[in-house]
Amino acid sequence: MKNSWRTSVVMAAACAVVNLGCSSETTQQPTENLPPTSQRAPEPVAVAKKAAALDSNTLLYCQQAQDEYAHFELVKTSTGYEAALVSLDYDPWDCRCEYEKREVLGTYTSCRVSTTDSRIVTCYKLESNGTIGKVALWSTRISNTQLPLTSGPEYTYQELNVAAVNQNPGYTPRRDFKYDLADCQGQ
């Protein structure tokens, strides 16, 4: 008798945990007496967007055109510099549901910024013997011109190419990113 009581308590607790979700409010089913116009659509989850303004520790910030939140950033840390891809990710098992995901591409001991355009940077990691290590990052401004096949105006646009090399174990050896030049800010 005690085992069946314990089993039913465990089952009730498991059902309660399974029924917990990201929305804590209970939704009421419409009844036949209520007109269909009285139904409310569920409220959207508010997500805080990253401000596009640079702080004093950010050397390079590039916003992805397809995603309002996802971006590339190169920041100054207490031990040097760090490049990362930051995006918004969804976790169905956490009641916060959305969280900031930060994928570190590499850490660097030195970064040099171009005097003509602050979006052009070169970063590298110095090894203990004074040589440049297997981790580097650089950005390049590229101007592209598209010529039409028929008569018409040329189309010129600029983009920023970012290459992140990290040959340490566990990292992708090289990653390349392209951003519209207007989507990038430098310090």
pLDDT on residue 13 = 52
What's at 122, amino acid-wise?
A: T
Give mean pLDDT, residues 35-50: 41
Say yes or no to pLDDT of 129 above 50: yes
| Residue 75: strand pairing partners | 58, 82
pLDDT on residue 168 = 86
pLDDT on residue 96 = 64
Give mean pLDDT, residues 61-74: 88
pLDDT digits (tens, 9 = 90+) for 68-124: 788 999 999 999 999 999 988 877 776 667 788 899 999 999 999 999 999 999 999
SS3 content of the chain, % helix, strand, coil (to 5): 15, 45, 45
Say yes or no to pLDDT of 26 above 50: no
* Burial class of 123 by CB neighbour count within 10 A (0 to 12, 13 to 18, 19+): buried
Position 4 confidence tier, pLDDT thresholds 50, 70, 90 = low
C-beta separation of 120 from 114 below 8 A: yes
pLDDT on residue 71 = 93
Position 50 confidence tier, pLDDT thresholds 50, 70, 90 = very low
Position 47 confidence tier, pLDDT thresholds 50, 70, 90 = very low
Q: Coil, strand, or helix at residue 162?
A: strand
Give mean pLDDT, residues 125-132: 85
CA distance 101 to 88: 6
pLDDT on residue 24 = 44
Handedness of CA 30, 31, 35, 36 (dihedral sign): positive
Angle CA 108–113–118, to nearest 5? 125
CA distance 93 to 34: 34
pLDDT on residue 122 = 95
H/E segment holding residue 112: strand 110-113
Alpha carbon distance, N-terminus to C-terminus of the chain: 71
pLDDT on residue 98 = 79
pLDDT on residue 83 = 95
Say yes or no to pLDDT of 165 above 90: yes
pLDDT on residue 67 = 77
CA distance 81 to 187: 14
Compute CA distances 117 → 8, 68, 114, whole Å. 68, 24, 5
Question: Chain-wide mean pLDDT for the chain?
Answer: 77
